[in-house]
Every structure is written in C-alpha cells, then in structure tokens.
C-alpha cells in the first residue's frame, strides 16, 4: 500500500522550487516609514534657543530647548546636530503633528535616540509619546538612563502601538512628543535627542526596524557647508568613493535656485557628476549581515533646476552582500523633473538559496555618462529597512511539513 505521506513528499520539492522562482522585487512606492520632518534636526545651521524647525517647542517652567551641534568629537547618531531639552521646575518638550493619520491596525514603531551631555546630569524624567489627535496612544520612559559621564552617548528607545479596529481616534493625525522633566528650579540637567523615526506595517502584522546607515542624509560634511557650498572633489564622509574619466562627486548644500524646496532631509545632498566616466559612492559594510527575509532600500534622487545641465545616462541604486549584486534600480529610467526630487525604492527577498547570505550588506549609488557634459544626479535621504518575510516564513513551514512527513509512522 502506498504510504500516506509519500504523495506529500513528492509534491513538496516542486512547491519549494516554485516559491524560489517568485520574483525577489516587490514593487511598492516607498519603504514603510512615515515622514517625520527634520527628523535628525539638521535644518538649522548652528545652535538655536527655543526654536526647532518643523517642531513645536513647549516649555512648562523656566527651561529651554533647541538645536545644538556638539562638535566633531561627539558620537551624534546622524549628521551633526541634536536637540537639547533642558527642563527647570517643569518640562521641556518638542512636538510634531505628522501628515499621516492613524490607521488600524498599524502596527507602528516610534524610535528616538536619547543621550546625555558629557558634563551635565540627566533630567529626572524623559518620555517619548506617540499620539493621535492629541490622545496618547503609547509611550515609553527614556530616562534617567544610566549613561556614564564621558563622550556624548546615545541609546535607542522605541514605542510600539497597534490600533484596534474600533479605536475612536482612527483617522486622526499622528503626533510625536519627546519630553524631559526636572522639578528643581536650579536644575542644569539636559537630555539630547537625535534621529527620530516612525515606521508602520503595510501587511498589518510586522513591525519594521531601520538598519543604521552612517551619514545616510549626507549632513556630516568636512568642512561644515554654508548655503551653496560643496566639499572637495571625491570627499563624502563615511562613504567610499570611486571616479573615472573627468568625473566629480561630493556633498553640496543646495540653494533655492538649484532646488526650490532645497534638500529632502536636512541641508545637504550628494552630487554625482560622471563626466565621460563613473561617479560612485559605497557605504561601508553595514553591521547587519544578509539574513533570510525582506529588505527595503529607498533613496531620494533629484535633478537640479538648470537650463543647460541635465541628468546622467545612468543612475543606479544597488543593494549588495559581499561580492554579490542582489538587486538594483535605474533612477535614470524615470528622471525627476528639474528642481525636484523623486523617491526610488527597491526591495529584495533573501532566501536560503540567495547569494551573499551571511555576508556584510553594502549600498551603492552610481552614475555614468558617456559624454563629457555637466550632467548630475543628486541623491539624498538613504533609508534601509529589513522586513521579516512572509515568503521566508512559508518556506520554513514547508521544511516543517517535510520533517513531519518523514517522521510520520509508515503504513504497510
């Protein structure tokens, strides 16, 4: 008699093979991040007092808050600037209402990096809140953390929230608040805030967490760039550069003449000008190796508002692991309108058979031009997210079925 599990075993290899043939790129307009304006506080050139662009500063008591540049020796999470919260006899808070609204179920994850100044104590309390229509939906304490005195340090704090289908605040605007408090009227304590992210879940199930990309929005530039200024040719802090022909590349702080809305995030952008050759930047190998699951990479790319200068022949965004090119997108296939930026997104599903599994991940942005012309691509705001894969989970389920079938008692 035929064994009852033999038909299953015969069909499983075909099922696995079919799943492996599914396309690795899933088209989506953007990675699952919700826009937080001035998220790493780079819009300000220098320090401010009680003003944080795109955020509302709320002071209760005699404290203060603003933008601060802790200097070249500080371990700022992203770019150069941070926000300081210095409460006295009350609280100091930054608050932003987003353009996104609360949807069910989400889920949502709010992330912020909180630090302590080298020479100052940390406030008595620190809170991160995700709100909808003024109602706190979820919060987390971010202090006082046990930071050791010494070089500027920061830690990641998260707030997770899943909305019920009958949540009365569905459709209300999402809001973010970060607050520090100290009851003492003579307090000199201070909390530092940097790199605020909010992610949601397109499938309504999975939470998504960003992978750290050093200098992802090119705000860290040497020297500090004024409006219209550019770094030396070939210099991009924290990225590896390559050029051929008479090409040039670097970091630029655009004016409103070049881009009426300036940079998509912060002040600076990258420029790639491949005159009769190649201009390329490569991230250092990221701390996260390639693992099974889904990945999403997005980059804003612009075309300057110039009558004579155009866009390069090719402009490619690549996701790599070790020596393997996993997937890429050509941003020259849909050139942004002059003076604007367009968002380009690529996704990749890594399976057990993927090349480069376990190898360091690397991101590349490159442009090529056959002629010696001033054609330039302007990338900015690199965001990289791993997305645990439903397809990978299904493959694991198939493997489990194989094991069950093999362990099933034989019937003669």
Q: What pLDDT, in 10s, does the model give residues 39-60? A: 999 887 778 999 999 999 999 9
Residue 145: pLDDT band with limits 50, 70, 90: low
Q: Provide mean pLDDT across the span 288-292.
A: 91
108 pLDDT more than 80:
yes
Domain 56-199 has CATH 2.60.120.260: yes
309 pLDDT more than 80:
yes
Residue 177: pLDDT band with limits 50, 70, 90: very high
Between residues 258 and 14, which one has the greater pLDDT?
A: 258
Place of tokens 């409103």: 256
What are the sequence ranges of the domains in the chain?
56-199
The answer to whether the CB of 50 falls within 8 A of the CB of 57 is yes
- 212 C-beta neighbours (distance < 10 Å), count: 13
Output the pTM of the full model. Answer: 0.78
> Nearest-CA neighbor of 304 among 380, 237, 242?
380
Predicted local distance difference test score (pLDDT) of residue 12: 42
Backbone dihedral angles phi then psi of residue 147, each to the nearest 5 degrees: -75, 135
> Nearest-CA neighbor of 109 among 163, 157, 156, 160?
160
Predicted local distance difference test score (pLDDT) of residue 231: 93
- 28 C-beta neighbours (distance < 10 Å), count: 13
Task: Give the lowest-confidence range in 67-71, 139-143, 314-318, 393-397.
Answer: 393-397
Predicted local distance difference test score (pLDDT) of residue 31: 78
Q: What pLDDT, in 10s, does the model give residues 134-144? A: 999 999 998 77
Q: Provide mean pLDDT across the span 320-347.
A: 94
260 pLDDT more than 60:
yes
Provide the CA 332 distance to its chain's centre, in angstroms.
23
Please provide the DSSP assignment of 48-73 as one string. -SS--TTSEEEEESS-EEEEE---TT
Residue 288: pLDDT band with limits 50, 70, 90: confident
Q: Alpha-carbon torsion 130, 132, 138, 141, what sign? A: positive
Instruction: Output the six-digit token pair for 234.
Output: 């070939």
Distances (CA, A) of 311 to 109, 229, 356, 374: 37, 21, 32, 8
Q: What pLDDT, in 10s, does the model give residues 221-244? A: 877 788 899 999 999 999 999 999
> Nearest-CA neighbor of 117 among 56, 180, 60?
180
Percent helix, strand, coil in the chain, to 5, is 10, 40, 50
For 68, residues 6+ apart whose C-beta sits below 8 A from its C-beta are: 47, 81, 82, 83, 84, 192
For residues 92 and 125, give the distance between their C-alpha atoms in angstroms, rounded to a whole number: 11
Instruction: Output the six-digit token pair for 94.
Output: 């930054």
Predicted local distance difference test score (pLDDT) of residue 77: 81
For residues 366 and 325, give the distance between their C-alpha atoms in angstroms, rounded to a whole number: 13
% of the chain at pLDDT higher than 90: 60
360 pLDDT more than 60:
yes
Place of tokens 């970060």: 178
């Amino acid at each position: 008699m035929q064994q009852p599990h033999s038909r299953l075993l015969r069909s499983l290899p075909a099922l696995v093979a079919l799943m492996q043939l599914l396309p690795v790129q899933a088209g989506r307009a953007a990675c699952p991040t919700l826009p937080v304006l001035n998220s790493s506080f780079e819009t300000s050139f220098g320090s401010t007092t009680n003003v944080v662009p795109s955020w509302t500063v709320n002071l209760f008591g005699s404290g203060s808050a603003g933008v601060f540049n802790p200097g070249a020796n500080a371990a700022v999470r992203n770019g150069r600037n941070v926000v300081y919260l210095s409460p006295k006899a009350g609280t100091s808070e930054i608050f932003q209402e987003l353009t996104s609204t609360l949807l069910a179920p989400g889920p949502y994850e709010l992330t912020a990096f909180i630090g302590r100044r080298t020479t100052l104590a940390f406030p008595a309390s620190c809170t991160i809140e995700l709100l909808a229509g003024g109602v706190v939906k979820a919060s987390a304490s971010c202090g006082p953390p046990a930071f050791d005195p010494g070089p500027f340090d920061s830690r990641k704090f998260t707030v997770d929230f899943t909305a019920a289908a009958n949540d009365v605040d569905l459709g209300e605007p999402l809001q973010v608040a970060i607050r520090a408090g100290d009851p003492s009227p003579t307090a000199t304590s201070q909390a530092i805030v940097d790199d605020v992210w909010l992610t949601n879940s397109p499938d309504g199930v999975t939470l998504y967490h960003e992978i750290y990309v050093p200098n992802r929005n090119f705000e860290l530039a040497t020297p500090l760039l004024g409006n219209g200024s550019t770094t030396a040719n070939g210099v991009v802090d924290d990225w590896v550069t390559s050029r051929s022909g008479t090409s040039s590349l670097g970091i630029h702080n655009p004016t409103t003449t070049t881009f009426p809305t300036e940079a998509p995030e912060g002040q600076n952008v990258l420029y790639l000008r491949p005159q009769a050759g190649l201009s390329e930047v490569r991230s250092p190998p990221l701390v996260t190796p390639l693992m099974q699951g889904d990945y999403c990479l997005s980059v804003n790319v612009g075309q300057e508002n110039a009558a004579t200068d155009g866009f390069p022949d090719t402009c490619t965004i690549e996701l790599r692991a070790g020596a393997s090119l996993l997937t890429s997108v050509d941003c020259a296939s849909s050139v942004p309108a002059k003076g604007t930026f367009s968002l380009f997104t690529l996704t990749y599903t890594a399976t057990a058979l993927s090349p480069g599994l376990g190898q360091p991940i690397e991101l590349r942005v490159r442009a090529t031009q056959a002629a010696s012309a001033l054609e330039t691509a302007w990338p900015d705001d690199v965001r990289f997210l791993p997305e645990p894969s439903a397809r990978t989970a299904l493959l694991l389920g198939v493997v489990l079925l194989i094991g069950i079938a093999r362990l099933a008692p034989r019937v003669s």
